[in-house]
A and B are shown apart, each in its own frame.
Chain A
Amino acid sequence: MASVALKNLCKKFGQTSVVKDVNVEIGDGEFLVFVGPSGCGKTTTLRMVVGLESLSEGEIHIGNRLVNNLPPGDRDVAMVFQNYALYSHMTVSRNLGFALKARGLAEKEITKRVQRVAKMLDLEELLERKPKQLSGGQRQRVALGRAVVRNPQVFLMDEPLSNLDALLRLQTRKELIELTTELNSTVIYVTHDQVEAMTMGHRLAVMNKGEVVQLDPPEKVFNEPANRFVAEFIGSPPMNFLDVEIAEENFQKILKSDAFDMVLPETWYSISESKAILGFRPHDARLVAEGGVSGRVTVVETLGAEKLVYLRVGKNSLSILVPATEKIRSGDQLRFDLNQDALHLFNREDEKRMPSTKQS
């Protein structure tokens, strides 16, 4: 296994910039996830690393080699494709062994490695089948096995779970985490599913419009999103946002929105702006009998243990999570309070996070 460094990576298709100045270092044995909405350039970035797409600018290092000009086959990386790309005319065992055979490994060594991987991925019973005779999950494991058997420096995976149904995806996700931990693999993983990203990644590289907007461990991305885009994209149900003004009264900073005023905790006293965007997650609100913020219920969605309640507060539409036992119907008037430690403020101009002194 090896580390990977992407330096000033840029990709243009004609005039359009698809990947813009991506700088990411992936440590040996690290599981790094590129996550972002559709079309933000994740796949293109991955394809540049593997060598299927040329670079417009920048450098890619794998281990201590600069691989910019190496063909994919010489980079010693393995890729798992979204549609698996299995060789459908070959049996599972030939699929697994094909790359080794092409590299001229001895037949005995190939059989040994294929057997070991088949055992690891629970494919032993399926070795003589053709891909067409396998279920989606089994095909996925064959695709994974084809990568593992080569024992490459780096694994690259482009949405390998997205063709599986929800339950199987959960299970395969867990298996994939176990496998990569056991092998201590360096993995670059691409997904647009933020839950997958949060659960699997040691670190996330959140992408938007070709740029990496935040590169941090999942907890930090969740608790201290670098800007409004990250705050909205990561976390489900998504964060609420509303425009507020910040006023100073009696040595206190007060948040004023069109419907309510709120005293800011002291940790925010270092900021100087007078306008901001307030963000809070639906589960950071708590129903109260009096005081707090008041709003009228528009829609109630039952999610199981909880209910997601949409409220109209002043001109804003907000959502809060409440225990499913609360009896709430649309039209009701509700009061809720916000967890003071879980507030986020974003600059109105560039939508970047405003730092508080508690987090640094």
Chain B
Amino acid sequence: MRLFVIILIMFILLAPFLWILLASFRPNMELVRNQSLIPNSLTIENYVSLFSKSGYWQWIINSFIVAMYTVLISIPLIVAGAYSVYRTYFWGRNALSLFLLSVYIFPTALLVVPIFRIFNDLQLVDSHLGCALMNTAFAVPFGIWLLQAFLKSLPPELEEAAAVDGIGRMRTLMQIIIPQVAPGIIAIAMFAFIVSWTEYLFAMTLLLSNDLHTLPIGLTGIVFGQYRVNWGFAAAGAVGSAIPVFLLFLIVGRWFIRGISAGAIK
């Protein structure tokens, strides 16, 4: 019975992915005409055109650059922010930590025009860095909130012991606190990476030149072709953009779990 429920839930969760995976191997015409789930014929034509006839590799590289910028900029901000909100005491601290998440209540579409104008003045339009800064703005508040939970799980005696031993604040943060919450920081880095990897709206607005386009923009461009939507191609694109992330998780995730079981509190 329990097994059945698990299988059912897995199926509900995985079905869309399976469908996309299947669809990516079906000719477009079949997808348009025939709605059945079982394919009549399989083809790798979608992948051939994705890999060789589109800008796929360039987009991957661009996406990767933007995501790495995002991670590299947001992690120091998140660590510094979470540590100060969690550990230092200043007026308005609680209000600030509540206010953090309110960044997310604005519909992002409302921000597009003002952001474009500001970034234009700062000469950040049409640059990967500008795009990464925008992603950073979305990753940091939630990241701080997450990391704070990790920090709160540390016994306060750890810092107190360091204070009694005459170890300075910066050294305590870098050599005691950060190693203790390393699994959390890695998880948050993955989160920031994905925020950036899947971001569409601001990349679309800020990246004007074709050769700077990231995966989501590039794929949309070719999927919504001039005359009709190419579903098979879209599915292949979706798989093609998920696979790098999947591989990354496979590598980092294993390290991540080892981190949790080796580090930990006691």
Contacts and interface: CB of A to CB of B under 8 A. Distances in A.
Contacts of B263: 88-89
Contacts of B175: 98
Contact of A132 (B167, B168, B176, B266): B266
A52 B161 CA distance: 10
Given A78-B164, A81-B160, 13 more contacts: A52-B164, A71-B163, A72-B160, A73-B164, A77-B164, A78-B165, A79-B164, A81-B161, A83-B155, A85-B155, A87-B176, A88-B266, A99-B167
Nearest to B179: A89
Interface in A115-169: 130-132, 146, 150
A50 interface: yes
A139 to B, nearest CB: 9
Nearest to B160: A52
A211 B167 CA distance: 33
Contacts of A77: 164
Chain B's interface: helix, strand, loop or mixed, by majority? helix
Contacts of A52: 160, 163-164
A88 B161 CA distance: 13
A129 to B, nearest CB: 12
Nearest to A158: B157
Contacts of A146: 161, 165
Interface string A79-104: 10101010111000000001100110
Given A102-B171, A132-B264, A132-B266, A85 B158 contact: yes
A341 interface: no
Taking each of B166, B176, B182, B264, which has the highest tally of chain A beta carbons within 10 Å of its own beta carbon?
Answer: B166
A249 interface: no
Given A88-B264, A89-B179, A89-B263, A103 B160 contact: no
24 contacts: A50-B164, A51-B163, A72-B160, A72-B163, A73-B163, A73-B164, A73-B165, A73-B166, A73-B168, A74-B166, A79-B161, A81-B161, A83-B155, A83-B157, A87-B161, A88-B180, A89-B263, A98-B175, A99-B165, A99-B167, A102-B165, A130-B262, A131-B266, A146-B161
Given A85-B155, A89-B180, A132-B264, A102 B168 contact: yes
A306 B161 CA distance: 44
A89 B179 CA distance: 7
Interface magnitude class on chain A: 20 to 34
B144 to A, nearest CB: 22
Contacts of A79: 160-161, 164
Contacts of A81: 157, 160-161
Nearest to A103: B166
Nearest to B178: A89
Contacts of B160: 52, 72, 79, 81, 85
Contacts of A131: 266
Contacts of B18: none
Taking each of A50, A51, A72, A130, which has the highest tally of chain B beta carbons within 10 Å of its own beta carbon?
Answer: A72
B167 A102 contact: yes
A105 B182 CA distance: 28
Contacts of B161: 79, 81, 85, 87, 146
A74 B266 CA distance: 28
B155 A102 contact: no
Interface string B142-166: 0000000000000101101101111
B176 to A, nearest CB: 6
A236 B164 CA distance: 36
**A-B CB proximity, top 10 nearest:** A73-B166, A99-B165, A85-B157, A85-B161, A89-B179, A102-B167, A72-B164, A72-B163, A81-B157, A79-B164
A103 B262 CA distance: 28
Given A81-B157, A87-B176, A88-B266, A102 B166 contact: yes
A88 B181 CA distance: 11
B265 interface: yes
Nearest to B171: A102
A58 B166 CA distance: 24
Given A85-B160, A89-B263, A150 B165 contact: yes
A298 B72 CA distance: 74
Contacts of A51: 163-164
Contacts of A50: 164
A251 to B, nearest CB: 63
Nearest to A47: B160
Contacts of A88: 180, 263-266
A353 B64 CA distance: 80
B180 to A, nearest CB: 6
Contacts of A74: 166
Taking each of B155, B161, B262, B265, which has the highest tally of chain A beta carbons within 10 Å of its own beta carbon?
Answer: B161
A77 B165 CA distance: 8
B264 A98 contact: no
